[in-house]
Amino acid sequence: MKIRRYVAKNTQEAILKVKMDLGSEALILNTRKIRKKGLLGLFSKPLTEVLAAVDEYGQKLASADKTGSSQSSMSNFVDDSDKKEEKIAILENRISGIEETLRELCEKVLNGSRPTVGTEAVEDSKKLKAGFAEVFYNNLVSNEVDPEIARKVVNAAASRLPASAGVSEMAAQLSGIIAGLLGKPETIKENSEGKPVTVIFVGPTGVGKTTTLAKIAANYLLNRKKSVGLITADTYRIAAVEQLKTYAEILGIPVSVVYTPAEMQEAISQYSDKDLILIDTAGRSHKNKAQFEELKALVAASGADEIYLVLSTTTSWKNCREILKSYSFLRDYKLLFTKTDETPVLGIVLNVRYMTGKSLSYITTGQSVPDDIETVNVDKITKNLIGSYLKDGPS
Ligand SMILES: Nc1nc2c(ncn2[C@@H]2O[C@H](COP(=O)(O)OP(=O)(O)O)[C@@H](O)[C@H]2O)c(=O)[nH]1
Ligand SMILES: [Mg+2]
Protein backbone atom coordinates (compact mmCIF):
# COMPACT_ATOMS: atom_id res chain seq x y z
CA MET A 1 0.00 0.00 0.00
CA LYS A 2 1.26 3.42 -0.95
CA ILE A 3 0.33 6.44 1.20
CA ARG A 4 0.77 10.00 -0.06
CA ARG A 5 0.07 13.48 1.20
CA TYR A 6 -1.45 16.16 -1.03
CA VAL A 7 -1.91 19.83 -0.28
CA ALA A 8 -4.14 22.12 -2.33
CA LYS A 9 -6.21 25.27 -2.13
CA ASN A 10 -9.42 23.37 -1.53
CA THR A 11 -10.71 19.83 -1.12
CA GLN A 12 -11.85 19.52 -4.69
CA GLU A 13 -8.43 20.43 -6.02
CA ALA A 14 -6.72 18.10 -3.53
CA ILE A 15 -8.95 15.20 -4.57
CA LEU A 16 -8.23 15.97 -8.20
CA LYS A 17 -4.51 15.75 -7.45
CA VAL A 18 -5.05 12.42 -5.70
CA LYS A 19 -6.99 11.08 -8.64
CA MET A 20 -4.46 12.27 -11.20
CA ASP A 21 -1.69 10.68 -9.23
CA LEU A 22 -3.16 7.55 -7.71
CA GLY A 23 -6.22 6.94 -9.85
CA SER A 24 -9.91 6.84 -8.96
CA GLU A 25 -9.53 3.78 -6.69
CA ALA A 26 -7.42 5.73 -4.22
CA LEU A 27 -8.70 5.65 -0.67
CA ILE A 28 -8.89 8.96 1.17
CA LEU A 29 -7.56 8.32 4.67
CA ASN A 30 -7.91 11.77 6.10
CA THR A 31 -8.57 15.38 5.12
CA ARG A 32 -7.88 18.43 7.21
CA LYS A 33 -7.41 22.14 6.90
CA ILE A 34 -3.88 23.39 7.45
CA ARG A 35 -2.19 26.79 7.36
CA LYS A 36 1.18 27.76 6.02
CA LYS A 37 3.83 27.72 8.70
CA GLY A 38 5.00 31.02 10.21
CA LEU A 39 3.31 34.28 11.03
CA LEU A 40 2.15 34.89 7.46
CA GLY A 41 0.23 31.65 7.55
CA LEU A 42 -2.05 33.08 10.20
CA PHE A 43 -3.42 35.55 7.69
CA SER A 44 -3.56 33.29 4.69
CA LYS A 45 -6.50 31.15 3.66
CA PRO A 46 -6.31 27.61 5.03
CA LEU A 47 -5.15 24.89 2.67
CA THR A 48 -6.53 21.38 2.46
CA GLU A 49 -4.30 18.43 3.19
CA VAL A 50 -5.42 15.02 2.00
CA LEU A 51 -3.83 11.72 2.93
CA ALA A 52 -4.58 9.10 0.32
CA ALA A 53 -3.60 5.50 -0.15
CA VAL A 54 -3.71 3.03 -2.98
CA ASP A 55 -2.53 -0.52 -3.36
CA GLU A 56 -0.88 -1.88 -6.47
CA TYR A 57 -4.01 -3.69 -7.54
CA GLY A 58 -6.18 -0.61 -7.04
CA GLN A 59 -3.81 1.48 -9.08
CA LYS A 60 -3.89 -0.93 -11.94
CA LEU A 61 -7.65 -0.87 -11.85
CA ALA A 62 -7.61 2.89 -11.79
CA SER A 63 -5.42 3.21 -14.82
CA ALA A 64 -7.57 0.72 -16.69
CA ASP A 65 -10.59 2.81 -15.70
CA LYS A 66 -9.06 5.96 -17.08
CA THR A 67 -8.78 4.56 -20.58
CA GLY A 68 -12.47 3.62 -20.65
CA SER A 69 -13.89 6.57 -18.85
CA SER A 70 -14.24 8.90 -21.80
CA GLN A 71 -16.83 6.66 -23.43
CA SER A 72 -18.64 5.70 -20.31
CA SER A 73 -21.16 8.21 -19.07
CA MET A 74 -23.14 10.52 -21.25
CA SER A 75 -25.33 11.54 -18.35
CA ASN A 76 -25.91 15.21 -17.87
CA PHE A 77 -26.32 14.90 -14.18
CA VAL A 78 -22.96 14.43 -12.62
CA ASP A 79 -23.46 11.58 -10.17
CA ASP A 80 -20.17 11.66 -8.40
CA SER A 81 -18.86 15.06 -7.66
CA ASP A 82 -15.40 14.98 -6.19
CA LYS A 83 -16.69 16.40 -2.96
CA LYS A 84 -19.15 13.60 -2.50
CA GLU A 85 -16.66 10.88 -3.39
CA GLU A 86 -14.36 12.29 -0.83
CA LYS A 87 -17.07 12.23 1.82
CA ILE A 88 -17.89 8.65 0.99
CA ALA A 89 -14.27 7.61 1.22
CA ILE A 90 -13.99 9.23 4.62
CA LEU A 91 -17.20 7.59 5.75
CA GLU A 92 -16.15 4.19 4.50
CA ASN A 93 -12.95 4.63 6.37
CA ARG A 94 -14.87 5.47 9.51
CA ILE A 95 -17.29 2.60 9.24
CA SER A 96 -14.46 0.09 9.22
CA GLY A 97 -13.12 1.72 12.38
CA ILE A 98 -16.58 1.60 13.94
CA GLU A 99 -16.95 -2.04 12.97
CA GLU A 100 -13.74 -2.93 14.69
CA THR A 101 -14.64 -1.02 17.87
CA LEU A 102 -18.11 -2.54 17.88
CA ARG A 103 -16.79 -6.04 17.58
CA GLU A 104 -14.33 -5.48 20.39
CA LEU A 105 -17.00 -3.93 22.60
CA CYS A 106 -19.55 -6.63 22.00
CA GLU A 107 -16.96 -9.30 22.64
CA LYS A 108 -15.93 -7.66 25.87
CA VAL A 109 -19.49 -7.30 27.10
CA LEU A 110 -20.50 -10.83 26.21
CA ASN A 111 -17.37 -12.70 27.13
CA GLY A 112 -15.84 -10.70 29.93
CA SER A 113 -12.37 -12.12 30.21
CA ARG A 114 -13.37 -15.75 30.00
CA PRO A 115 -12.78 -17.84 26.91
CA THR A 116 -15.93 -19.29 25.27
CA VAL A 117 -16.28 -22.93 24.33
CA GLY A 118 -18.78 -25.26 22.66
CA THR A 119 -22.51 -24.44 22.89
CA GLU A 120 -21.68 -21.42 25.00
CA ALA A 121 -19.78 -19.97 22.06
CA VAL A 122 -22.75 -20.55 19.76
CA GLU A 123 -25.09 -18.83 22.23
CA ASP A 124 -22.69 -15.93 22.49
CA SER A 125 -22.43 -15.46 18.75
CA LYS A 126 -26.22 -15.35 18.58
CA LYS A 127 -26.21 -12.62 21.18
CA LEU A 128 -23.45 -10.87 19.30
CA LYS A 129 -25.51 -10.99 16.11
CA ALA A 130 -28.55 -9.64 17.95
CA GLY A 131 -26.33 -6.88 19.36
CA PHE A 132 -25.17 -5.87 15.88
CA ALA A 133 -28.74 -5.97 14.63
CA GLU A 134 -29.77 -3.61 17.41
CA VAL A 135 -26.97 -1.17 16.57
CA PHE A 136 -28.04 -1.12 12.93
CA TYR A 137 -31.68 -0.72 13.90
CA ASN A 138 -30.80 2.26 16.08
CA ASN A 139 -28.75 3.81 13.30
CA LEU A 140 -31.60 3.49 10.84
CA VAL A 141 -34.06 5.02 13.27
CA SER A 142 -31.74 7.88 14.14
CA ASN A 143 -31.42 8.48 10.41
CA GLU A 144 -35.19 8.90 10.48
CA VAL A 145 -36.13 5.63 8.88
CA ASP A 146 -39.61 4.74 10.11
CA PRO A 147 -39.09 2.36 13.08
CA GLU A 148 -41.39 -0.22 11.55
CA ILE A 149 -39.47 -0.26 8.29
CA ALA A 150 -36.16 -0.29 10.19
CA ARG A 151 -37.30 -3.31 12.20
CA LYS A 152 -38.38 -5.15 9.08
CA VAL A 153 -35.14 -4.65 7.19
CA VAL A 154 -32.94 -5.47 10.18
CA ASN A 155 -34.92 -8.63 10.92
CA ALA A 156 -34.74 -9.63 7.27
CA ALA A 157 -30.97 -9.13 7.26
CA ALA A 158 -30.50 -11.04 10.52
CA SER A 159 -32.64 -13.94 9.37
CA ARG A 160 -30.52 -14.39 6.27
CA LEU A 161 -27.30 -14.67 8.24
CA PRO A 162 -25.76 -17.52 10.21
CA ALA A 163 -25.32 -17.06 13.97
CA SER A 164 -21.59 -16.61 13.49
CA ALA A 165 -22.05 -13.62 11.13
CA GLY A 166 -20.10 -10.52 12.03
CA VAL A 167 -20.84 -6.87 11.72
CA SER A 168 -19.52 -6.60 8.16
CA GLU A 169 -21.74 -9.42 6.96
CA MET A 170 -24.68 -7.75 8.65
CA ALA A 171 -23.80 -4.41 7.04
CA ALA A 172 -23.48 -6.04 3.62
CA GLN A 173 -26.76 -7.93 3.98
CA LEU A 174 -28.55 -4.82 5.17
CA SER A 175 -27.09 -2.74 2.34
CA GLY A 176 -28.36 -5.27 -0.16
CA ILE A 177 -31.86 -5.22 1.30
CA ILE A 178 -32.05 -1.44 1.54
CA ALA A 179 -30.63 -0.92 -1.95
CA GLY A 180 -33.22 -3.41 -3.21
CA LEU A 181 -36.00 -1.49 -1.48
CA LEU A 182 -34.79 1.83 -2.89
CA GLY A 183 -34.94 0.24 -6.35
CA LYS A 184 -33.56 1.49 -9.61
CA PRO A 185 -34.06 5.22 -10.14
CA GLU A 186 -35.99 6.30 -13.20
CA THR A 187 -35.42 9.64 -14.83
CA ILE A 188 -37.04 11.39 -17.78
CA LYS A 189 -37.38 8.99 -20.67
CA GLU A 190 -36.80 10.05 -24.25
CA ASN A 191 -39.75 9.83 -26.58
CA SER A 192 -38.92 7.64 -29.53
CA GLU A 193 -41.87 8.79 -31.64
CA GLY A 194 -40.45 12.24 -32.27
CA LYS A 195 -43.11 13.77 -30.06
CA PRO A 196 -42.14 15.98 -27.12
CA VAL A 197 -41.89 14.39 -23.69
CA THR A 198 -44.23 16.23 -21.35
CA VAL A 199 -43.25 16.36 -17.71
CA ILE A 200 -45.22 17.96 -14.90
CA PHE A 201 -43.91 18.81 -11.44
CA VAL A 202 -46.21 18.81 -8.45
CA GLY A 203 -45.64 19.09 -4.74
CA PRO A 204 -45.95 21.37 -1.73
CA THR A 205 -44.97 25.04 -1.83
CA GLY A 206 -41.34 25.87 -1.35
CA VAL A 207 -39.89 22.39 -1.84
CA GLY A 208 -37.99 23.49 -4.93
CA LYS A 209 -40.22 22.60 -7.89
CA THR A 210 -39.43 25.68 -9.96
CA THR A 211 -35.71 25.58 -9.21
CA THR A 212 -35.56 21.87 -10.06
CA LEU A 213 -37.48 22.41 -13.28
CA ALA A 214 -34.98 25.14 -14.23
CA LYS A 215 -32.06 22.79 -13.50
CA ILE A 216 -33.54 20.08 -15.70
CA ALA A 217 -34.40 22.57 -18.46
CA ALA A 218 -30.84 23.93 -18.43
CA ASN A 219 -29.30 20.46 -18.49
CA TYR A 220 -31.44 19.33 -21.42
CA LEU A 221 -30.77 22.52 -23.30
CA LEU A 222 -27.07 22.96 -22.65
CA ASN A 223 -25.77 19.42 -22.25
CA ARG A 224 -28.16 17.38 -24.33
CA LYS A 225 -28.83 20.06 -26.94
CA LYS A 226 -32.58 19.46 -26.75
CA SER A 227 -35.28 22.02 -27.40
CA VAL A 228 -37.32 22.83 -24.32
CA GLY A 229 -40.60 24.65 -23.73
CA LEU A 230 -41.81 25.73 -20.29
CA ILE A 231 -45.33 26.09 -19.00
CA THR A 232 -46.33 27.43 -15.63
CA ALA A 233 -49.67 26.93 -14.00
CA ASP A 234 -48.42 28.54 -10.81
CA THR A 235 -50.49 31.66 -11.13
CA TYR A 236 -51.24 32.09 -7.44
CA ARG A 237 -48.30 34.37 -6.95
CA ILE A 238 -46.94 36.89 -9.46
CA ALA A 239 -43.47 36.19 -8.13
CA ALA A 240 -43.76 32.53 -9.11
CA VAL A 241 -44.43 33.39 -12.74
CA GLU A 242 -41.62 35.94 -12.72
CA GLN A 243 -39.23 33.37 -11.25
CA LEU A 244 -39.80 30.94 -14.11
CA LYS A 245 -39.78 33.73 -16.70
CA THR A 246 -36.37 34.81 -15.42
CA TYR A 247 -34.95 31.32 -15.88
CA ALA A 248 -36.57 31.03 -19.30
CA GLU A 249 -35.10 34.36 -20.36
CA ILE A 250 -31.61 33.40 -19.22
CA LEU A 251 -31.86 30.12 -21.10
CA GLY A 252 -33.55 31.70 -24.12
CA ILE A 253 -36.50 29.31 -24.08
CA PRO A 254 -40.22 30.07 -24.31
CA VAL A 255 -42.56 30.03 -21.35
CA SER A 256 -46.36 29.99 -21.37
CA VAL A 257 -48.52 30.96 -18.45
CA VAL A 258 -51.75 28.99 -18.16
CA TYR A 259 -54.73 29.53 -15.88
CA THR A 260 -57.14 26.82 -16.99
CA PRO A 261 -57.02 23.22 -18.24
CA ALA A 262 -58.02 24.44 -21.71
CA GLU A 263 -55.08 26.86 -21.78
CA MET A 264 -52.82 24.01 -20.66
CA GLN A 265 -53.82 21.93 -23.67
CA GLU A 266 -53.39 24.92 -25.96
CA ALA A 267 -49.89 25.64 -24.63
CA ILE A 268 -48.85 22.02 -25.03
CA SER A 269 -50.03 21.91 -28.63
CA GLN A 270 -47.99 25.04 -29.33
CA TYR A 271 -44.86 23.22 -28.19
CA SER A 272 -45.34 20.22 -30.47
CA ASP A 273 -41.97 20.93 -32.12
CA LYS A 274 -40.08 20.71 -28.82
CA ASP A 275 -38.19 17.71 -27.44
CA LEU A 276 -39.19 18.40 -23.87
CA ILE A 277 -42.04 20.30 -22.23
CA LEU A 278 -41.66 21.04 -18.53
CA ILE A 279 -44.71 22.14 -16.56
CA ASP A 280 -44.56 23.93 -13.23
CA THR A 281 -47.50 24.00 -10.84
CA ALA A 282 -48.35 25.76 -7.61
CA GLY A 283 -47.91 24.11 -4.26
CA ARG A 284 -51.24 23.33 -2.62
CA SER A 285 -52.15 23.41 0.98
CA HIS A 286 -53.14 19.89 1.88
CA LYS A 287 -56.02 21.34 3.86
CA ASN A 288 -57.57 22.93 0.79
CA LYS A 289 -59.58 20.37 -1.20
CA ALA A 290 -60.66 22.80 -3.94
CA GLN A 291 -57.05 23.56 -4.82
CA PHE A 292 -56.42 19.86 -5.27
CA GLU A 293 -59.39 19.51 -7.59
CA GLU A 294 -57.88 22.29 -9.70
CA LEU A 295 -54.51 20.59 -9.74
CA LYS A 296 -56.10 17.30 -10.67
CA ALA A 297 -57.80 18.95 -13.65
CA LEU A 298 -54.54 20.60 -14.75
CA VAL A 299 -52.60 17.36 -14.51
CA ALA A 300 -55.29 15.56 -16.50
CA ALA A 301 -55.34 18.30 -19.15
CA SER A 302 -51.57 18.18 -19.50
CA GLY A 303 -51.72 14.49 -20.46
CA ALA A 304 -48.17 14.46 -19.10
CA ASP A 305 -45.96 11.49 -19.93
CA GLU A 306 -44.34 11.79 -16.55
CA ILE A 307 -45.35 13.29 -13.23
CA TYR A 308 -42.77 14.12 -10.59
CA LEU A 309 -43.88 14.54 -7.01
CA VAL A 310 -41.31 16.89 -5.54
CA LEU A 311 -40.63 16.49 -1.82
CA SER A 312 -38.06 18.09 0.39
CA THR A 313 -35.79 15.87 2.48
CA THR A 314 -36.10 18.49 5.21
CA THR A 315 -39.80 17.70 5.69
CA SER A 316 -40.63 15.63 8.75
CA TRP A 317 -41.90 12.12 8.09
CA LYS A 318 -45.12 12.98 9.90
CA ASN A 319 -45.84 15.91 7.57
CA CYS A 320 -44.71 13.95 4.61
CA ARG A 321 -47.30 11.25 5.27
CA GLU A 322 -50.01 13.93 5.16
CA ILE A 323 -48.58 15.30 1.93
CA LEU A 324 -48.58 11.84 0.36
CA LYS A 325 -52.23 11.43 1.28
CA SER A 326 -53.08 14.72 -0.43
CA TYR A 327 -51.34 13.67 -3.62
CA SER A 328 -52.73 10.15 -3.59
CA PHE A 329 -55.05 11.16 -6.45
CA LEU A 330 -52.03 10.86 -8.74
CA ARG A 331 -51.95 7.44 -10.25
CA ASP A 332 -48.49 7.22 -11.60
CA TYR A 333 -45.63 9.41 -10.55
CA LYS A 334 -41.98 9.42 -9.62
CA LEU A 335 -40.39 10.75 -6.47
CA LEU A 336 -38.01 13.67 -6.65
CA PHE A 337 -36.28 14.71 -3.43
CA THR A 338 -34.77 18.14 -2.89
CA LYS A 339 -32.49 19.88 -0.42
CA THR A 340 -30.31 16.92 0.53
CA ASP A 341 -27.67 19.54 1.30
CA GLU A 342 -29.80 20.78 4.17
CA THR A 343 -30.14 17.54 6.08
CA PRO A 344 -27.65 14.87 7.08
CA VAL A 345 -30.35 12.20 7.39
CA LEU A 346 -32.22 10.68 4.50
CA GLY A 347 -34.62 8.24 6.15
CA ILE A 348 -37.50 9.97 4.44
CA VAL A 349 -36.29 8.76 1.04
CA LEU A 350 -36.61 5.12 2.09
CA ASN A 351 -39.86 5.75 3.98
CA VAL A 352 -41.61 7.39 1.04
CA ARG A 353 -40.32 4.91 -1.47
CA TYR A 354 -41.41 2.04 0.78
CA MET A 355 -44.83 3.52 1.42
CA THR A 356 -45.67 4.56 -2.16
CA GLY A 357 -43.74 2.01 -4.18
CA LYS A 358 -42.98 4.79 -6.68
CA SER A 359 -39.58 5.08 -8.34
CA LEU A 360 -36.92 7.44 -7.15
CA SER A 361 -35.56 9.77 -9.81
CA TYR A 362 -33.41 12.83 -9.17
CA ILE A 363 -32.23 14.45 -5.99
CA THR A 364 -31.20 18.05 -5.68
CA THR A 365 -28.25 19.05 -3.61
CA GLY A 366 -28.29 22.84 -3.45
CA GLN A 367 -29.67 26.06 -4.83
CA SER A 368 -27.37 26.35 -7.82
CA VAL A 369 -28.98 26.15 -11.23
CA PRO A 370 -28.13 24.03 -13.19
CA ASP A 371 -25.49 22.12 -11.24
CA ASP A 372 -27.12 20.96 -8.04
CA ILE A 373 -29.07 18.00 -9.35
CA GLU A 374 -28.14 14.33 -9.69
CA THR A 375 -29.76 11.08 -10.60
CA VAL A 376 -30.36 9.24 -7.32
CA ASN A 377 -27.35 7.17 -6.36
CA VAL A 378 -28.80 4.24 -4.44
CA ASP A 379 -25.44 3.22 -2.95
CA LYS A 380 -24.86 6.65 -1.47
CA ILE A 381 -28.31 6.75 0.08
CA THR A 382 -27.91 3.22 1.44
CA LYS A 383 -24.62 4.16 3.08
CA ASN A 384 -26.18 7.26 4.55
CA LEU A 385 -29.02 5.23 6.05
CA ILE A 386 -26.87 2.53 7.55
CA GLY A 387 -24.17 4.76 9.01
CA SER A 388 -24.35 6.43 12.39
CA TYR A 389 -21.43 8.63 11.70
CA LEU A 390 -23.01 11.26 9.51
CA LYS A 391 -24.23 13.55 12.23
CA ASP A 392 -20.83 14.20 13.71
CA GLY A 393 -19.03 13.60 10.45
CA PRO A 394 -18.51 15.96 7.53
CA SER A 395 -21.68 17.56 6.28
N1 LIG B 1 -30.65 24.22 -0.05
C2 LIG B 1 -31.40 23.98 -1.11
N3 LIG B 1 -32.34 24.87 -1.47
C4 LIG B 1 -33.08 24.60 -2.55
C5 LIG B 1 -32.93 23.41 -3.31
N6 LIG B 1 -33.85 23.44 -4.30
C7 LIG B 1 -34.53 24.59 -4.17
N8 LIG B 1 -34.08 25.29 -3.12
C9 LIG B 1 -34.52 26.61 -2.62
O10 LIG B 1 -35.83 26.47 -2.07
C11 LIG B 1 -36.54 27.69 -2.25
C12 LIG B 1 -37.88 27.41 -2.89
O13 LIG B 1 -37.63 26.94 -4.22
P14 LIG B 1 -38.72 27.01 -5.38
O15 LIG B 1 -38.13 26.37 -6.58
O16 LIG B 1 -39.23 28.38 -5.54
O17 LIG B 1 -39.84 26.08 -4.73
P18 LIG B 1 -41.33 25.80 -5.26
O19 LIG B 1 -42.24 26.66 -4.45
O20 LIG B 1 -41.57 24.35 -4.97
O21 LIG B 1 -41.35 26.10 -6.71
C22 LIG B 1 -35.64 28.60 -3.07
O23 LIG B 1 -34.99 29.48 -2.22
C24 LIG B 1 -34.66 27.64 -3.71
O25 LIG B 1 -33.43 28.24 -4.01
C26 LIG B 1 -31.93 22.47 -2.89
O27 LIG B 1 -31.71 21.41 -3.47
N28 LIG B 1 -31.20 22.82 -1.79
MG1 LIG C 1 -42.54 27.40 -7.75
The answer to whether position 175 is within a domain reads yes
For residues 231 and 224, what is the distance between their CA atoms, to the nearest angstrom?
Answer: 20
Residues 359 and 211 in one domain: yes
Domains of the chain: total: 3
Residue 9 · residue 50 · CB < 8 Å: no
State yes or no: pLDDT of 209 exceeds 50.
yes
Taking the centre of ligand 2 as the mean of its atom positions, its distance from the CA of residue 106, in whole angstroms, is 51
For residues 158 and 166, what is the distance between their CA atoms, to the nearest angstrom?
Answer: 11
Taking the centre of ligand 1 as the mean of its atom positions, its distance from the CA of residue 208, in whole angstroms, is 3
The answer to whether position 227 is within a domain reads yes
Max mean pLDDT range (55-64, 93-102, 160-169, 379-388): 379-388
Taking the centre of ligand 1 as the mean of its atom positions, its distance from the CA of residue 296, in whole angstroms, is 23
From the list 168, 161, 171, 167, the residue with the least C-alpha distance to 140 is 171
pLDDT band of residue 134 (cuts 50, 70, 90) is confident
Residue 263 · residue 273 · CB < 8 Å: no
Residues 236 and 297 in one domain: yes
pLDDT band of residue 132 (cuts 50, 70, 90) is confident
For residues 305 and 356, what is the distance between their CA atoms, to the nearest angstrom?
Answer: 19
Q: Is the CB of 338 under 6 A from ligand 1?
A: yes
Q: What is the mean pLDDT of the chain?
A: 83
Ordered strands of the 47-54 beta sheet: 2-8, 47-54, 27-34
Residues 232 and 315 in one domain: yes
For 332-356, write each residue's pLDDT tens digit. Answer: 999 999 999 999 899 999 999 999 9
**CATH code for position 253:** 3.40.50.300
Q: Is the CB of 235 under 6 A from ligand 1?
A: no
pLDDT band of residue 236 (cuts 50, 70, 90) is confident
- Which ligand 1 atom minimizes the distance to the CA of 338? 27
For residues 168 and 311, what is the distance between their CA atoms, to the nearest angstrom?
Answer: 33
Per-residue confidence (pLDDT) for residue 392, from 0 to 100: 40
pLDDT band of residue 88 (cuts 50, 70, 90) is confident
pLDDT band of residue 75 (cuts 50, 70, 90) is very low
The boundaries of the domain holding residue 116 are 101-182
Taking the centre of ligand 1 as the mean of its atom positions, its distance from the CA of residue 212, in whole angstroms, is 8
Lowest-pLDDT choice from 104-113, 272-281, 374-383: 104-113
Residues 358 and 238 in one domain: yes
For residues 344 and 394, what is the distance between their CA atoms, to the nearest angstrom?
Answer: 9
For residues 103 and 315, what is the distance between their CA atoms, to the nearest angstrom?
Answer: 35
- Which ligand 1 atom minimizes the distance to the CA of 206? 19
Could you tell me which residues are beta bridge partners of residue 256?
231
Q: Is the CB of 281 under 6 A from ligand 1?
A: no
Residue 274 · residue 256 · CB < 8 Å: no
